[in-house]
């Protein structure tokens, strides 16, 4: 069942299973923003929520249905008429009904016999179809359900009119070989399409989803950043890129929007994307060690998959400086700002970068350029285009954080006052406004990290930023006792370096 031309449907459950992540609750506006972004990404179906849960949940699902998106909107329902009616009221395109099917769940939750589950599954699929809706049927905990009964149940739902059958690995206990066997059995027993819904309790959700596709499933259920119950669901970006790049299968996803999508969910949930996360993590296309960076500078697929590039997923490649840095990356970064050290100077610069990296410090581009200027005796050469003169910030429990700032940009004194979500946000907006008025082209703040480098309430704050202008990207640091000052200092250092040619 591994035909190359198949298009696999992407069913996104970020707003439903994703919202069941302990500690996550989206506001109405956040849900609408996520739905619009998922639609722009190209997902085929958006599971918008479980309308029976509350009046508010029902209203949000209704609002998402009214957005007029291209994606189909799906609502979740137990096999109960009132749950299904709530979905109908919202105007969804598809109703996803589910019932516990494993012995352990039936005995300890619904107390329904296998016969009763079958009877109710039939009645409720018919109920959905008689009301004129597309019906997805899920046998919850399918991977722990007696196989004979499971097949019988899916056939019953098919007879009732289900348009698609979903196979949930509810507690994430399957593994790819078992999943391949199970989905293969179901695929051979029914005629309607199969969807797969994997949880990540053993870190196998994506692998299990791929195995299910190989066995015949034509739809995968995923969530952005893998959020969901316990260890979450199969991650959308990893699943899509594996299907595309490894299996050579099509999806309707605009992959160049994947990074942006993952960042939106990171920002809204406050759950940081780990640096090592495949595809969208900070390190996914970063290189530090000498051998790797040399290879990548010559030809990127020497130390990257090649079948997946940062451009394909809207991410970017980074050459990172540190204790493993080799001379090729130093030479390349310096040549970008027109510095060409001699062989001896290059060795000296490299030595100092490695020392800085070995001391446990993150080495920024600004550090590299400062070291190079010292080694090459060019201290005076670095003209500062932006110089901060004054900064004051007001914040408090009953106050919108506001920053006012005076700076000299290209010799001209400029002022700005801005409000923000917090004092750092307000100060960075003020400095960006001042700079934006005097320098052509957009300067974008891409990365921002705060670390305390000493302990206690008087700790030194270290802020590292990554700033982009056109195709140039520069990292710089600011270190102060005051987080706001450290942030503005880091930003100004980066802009000064960006403008250096
Ligand atoms: O994990 C699960 O079984 C579910 C069902 C509602 C499909 O989320
Ligand atoms: Zn689930």
Whether 190 has a pLDDT exceeding 70, the answer reads: yes
If one residue of 99, 138, 143, 154 were mutated to test the ligand 1 pocket, choosing by the most ligand atoms within 8 A of its CB, it would be 138
Average pLDDT over every residue of 48-54: 98
- Index of the ligand 1 atom closest to the CA of residue 76: 6
Write down the pTM of the prediction: 0.87
Q: Which residues contact 26 (CB under 8 A, 6 or more apart)?
A: 15, 19, 34, 268
Q: What percent of the chain has pLDDT over 90?
A: 82
Q: Is 138 in the pocket of ligand 1 (CB under 6 A)?
A: yes
- The 8-class DSSP code of residue 231 comes to T
User: What is the residue with the minimal CA distance to atom 3 of ligand 1?
Assistant: 170
**In this structure, what are the phi and psi dihedrals at residue 453, rounded to the nearest 5 degrees?**
-100, -5
Alpha-carbon gap, residue 163 to 195, rounded angstroms: 11
Q: What DSSP assignment string belongs to 250-295?
A: B-S--GGGHHHHHHHHHHHH--PPPTT-TTTSTTTTEE-SHHHHHH
Topology at the third CATH level for domain 386-498: Double Stranded RNA Binding Domain (3.30.160)
- The 8-class DSSP code of residue 379 comes to G
User: What is the residue with the minimal CA distance to atom 2 of ligand 1?
Assistant: 170
**In this structure, what are the phi and psi dihedrals at residue 363, rounded to the nearest 5 degrees?**
-95, 120
Q: How confident is the model at residue 387 (pLDDT cuts 50, 70, 90)?
A: very high
Distance from Cα 27 to the centre of ligand 1, integer Å: 22
Distance from Cα 140 to the centre of ligand 1, integer Å: 6
Distance from Cα 138 to the centre of ligand 2, integer Å: 10
- Index of the ligand 1 atom closest to the CA of residue 140: 3
| Closest ligand relative to 226 C-alpha | 2
Mean pLDDT lowest for which of 26-30, 273-277, 451-455, 479-483? 451-455
Strands of the sheet containing 386-396, edge to edge, are: 386-396, 399-409, 412-419
Whole-number pLDDT of residue 500: 73
Per-residue model confidence as pLDDT tens digits over 257-315: 999 999 999 999 999 999 999 999 999 999 999 999 999 999 999 999 999 999 999 99
Domain residues of the chain, as ranges?
A: 9-253, 286-381, 386-498
Whether 196 has a pLDDT exceeding 50, the answer reads: yes
Distance from Cα 229 to the centre of ligand 2, integer Å: 7
Average pLDDT over every residue of 31-35: 98
Task: Out of 3.20.20.70, 3.50.30.40, 3.40.50.2300, 3.40.190.10, select the CATH number for domain 9-253.
Answer: 3.20.20.70
Whole-number pLDDT of residue 167: 99
For the chain, what percentages of helix, strand and coil (3-state, to nearest 5) are there? 45, 25, 35
Whether 33 has a pLDDT exceeding 70, the answer reads: yes
Q: What mean pLDDT value characterizes the chain?
A: 94
Whether 3 has a pLDDT exceeding 70, the answer reads: no
Whether 382 has a pLDDT exceeding 60, the answer reads: no
Average pLDDT over every residue of 354-373: 88
Average pLDDT over every residue of 189-200: 98
Distance from Cα 170 to the centre of ligand 1, integer Å: 6
Average pLDDT over every residue of 64-93: 98
Alpha-carbon gap, residue 227 to 32, rounded angstroms: 17
Q: What angle do CA 82, 86, 92 make, to 5 degrees?
A: 140
User: What is the residue with the minimal CA distance to atom 5 of ligand 1?
Assistant: 140
- Alpha-carbon torsion, ordered 160, 47, 69, 85, to 10 deg: 50
> With contact defined as beta carbons under 8 Å apart, do 343 and 375 qualify?
no
Whether 1 has a pLDDT exceeding 60, the answer reads: no
Whether 380 has a pLDDT exceeding 50, the answer reads: no
Let me know if the fold of 9-253 is the same as that of 386-498.
no
Distance from Cα 200 to the centre of ligand 2, integer Å: 10
Alpha-carbon gap, residue 301 to 292, rounded angstroms: 10
Whole-number pLDDT of residue 16: 98
Whether 501 has a pLDDT exceeding 80, the answer reads: no
In the three-class reduction of DSSP (H, G, I as helix; E, B as strand; rest coil), residue 212 is classed as helix
- The 8-class DSSP code of residue 243 comes to I
Average pLDDT over every residue of 232-254: 98
Whether 231 has a pLDDT exceeding 90, the answer reads: yes
Average pLDDT over every residue of 369-377: 86
Alpha-carbon gap, residue 443 to 297, rounded angstroms: 26
Average pLDDT over every residue of 15-35: 97
């Amino acid at each position: 069942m591994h035909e190359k031309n198949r298009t696999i449907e992407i069913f996104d459950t970020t707003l439903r299973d994703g919202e069941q992540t302990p500690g996550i609750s989206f506001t109405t506006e956040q849900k609408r923003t996520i739905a619009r972004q998922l639609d722009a990404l190209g997902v085929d179906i958006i599971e918008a929520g479980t309308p029976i849960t509350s009046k508010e949940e029902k209203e949000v699902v209704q609002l998402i249905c009214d957005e007029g998106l291209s994606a189909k909107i799906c609502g979740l329902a137990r096999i109960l008429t009132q749950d299904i009616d709530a979905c109908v009221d919202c105007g969804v395109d598809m109703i996803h009904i589910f019932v516990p099917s494993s012995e352990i769940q039936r005995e300890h939750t619904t107390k329904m016999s296998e016969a009763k589950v079958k009877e109710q599954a039939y009645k409720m699929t018919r109920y959905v179809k008689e009301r004129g809706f597309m019906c997805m049927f899920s046998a919850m905990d399918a991977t722990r359900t007696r196989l004979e009964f499971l097949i019988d149940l899916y056939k019953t739902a098919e007879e009732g009119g289900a348009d698609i059958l979903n196979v949930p690995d509810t507690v994430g206990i399957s593994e790819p070989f078992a999943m391949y066997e199970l989905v293969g059995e179901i695929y051979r027993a029914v005629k309607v399409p199969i969807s797969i819904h994997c949880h990540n309790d053993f870190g196998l959700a994506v692998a299990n989803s791929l195995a299910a596709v190989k066995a015949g499933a034509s739809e995968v259920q995923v969530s952005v950043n893998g959020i969901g119950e316990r260890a979450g669901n199969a991650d959308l970006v990893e699943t899509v890129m594996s299907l595309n790049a490894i299996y050579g299968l099509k999806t309707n996803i605009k992959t160049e929007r994947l990074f942006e999508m993952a960042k939106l969910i990171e920002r809204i949930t406050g759950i940081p994307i780990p640096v090592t996360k495949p595809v969208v993590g900070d390190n996914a296309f970063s290189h530090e060690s000498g051998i790797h960076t040399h290879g990548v500078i010559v030809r990127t697929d020497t130390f990257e998959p090649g079948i997946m590039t940062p451009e394909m997923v809207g991410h970017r490649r980074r050459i990172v400086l540190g204790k493993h840095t080799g001379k090729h990356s130093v030479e390349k970064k310096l040549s970008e700002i027109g510095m060409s050290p001699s062989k001896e100077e290059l060795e000296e610069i490299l030595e100092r970068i490695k020392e800085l990296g070995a001391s446990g410090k993150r080495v920024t581009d600004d550090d590299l350029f400062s070291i190079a200027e010292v080694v090459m005796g060019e201290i005076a050469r670095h003209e500062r285009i932006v110089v901060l003169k004054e900064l004051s910030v007001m914040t408090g429990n009953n106050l919108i954080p506001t920053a006012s700032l005076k700076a000299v940009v290209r010799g001209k004194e400029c002022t700005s006052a801005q409000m923000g979500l917090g004092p750092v946000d307000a100060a960075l907006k003020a400095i960006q406004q001042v700079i934006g008025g005097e320098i052509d082209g957009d300067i974008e703040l891409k990365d921002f990290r705060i670390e305390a480098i000493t302990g206690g309430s008087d700790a030194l704050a270290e802020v590292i930023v990554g700033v982009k202008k056109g195709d140039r990207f520069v990292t710089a640091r600011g270190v102060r006792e005051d987080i706001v000052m450290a942030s503005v200092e880091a930003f100004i250092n980066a802009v000064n370096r960006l403008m250096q040619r």
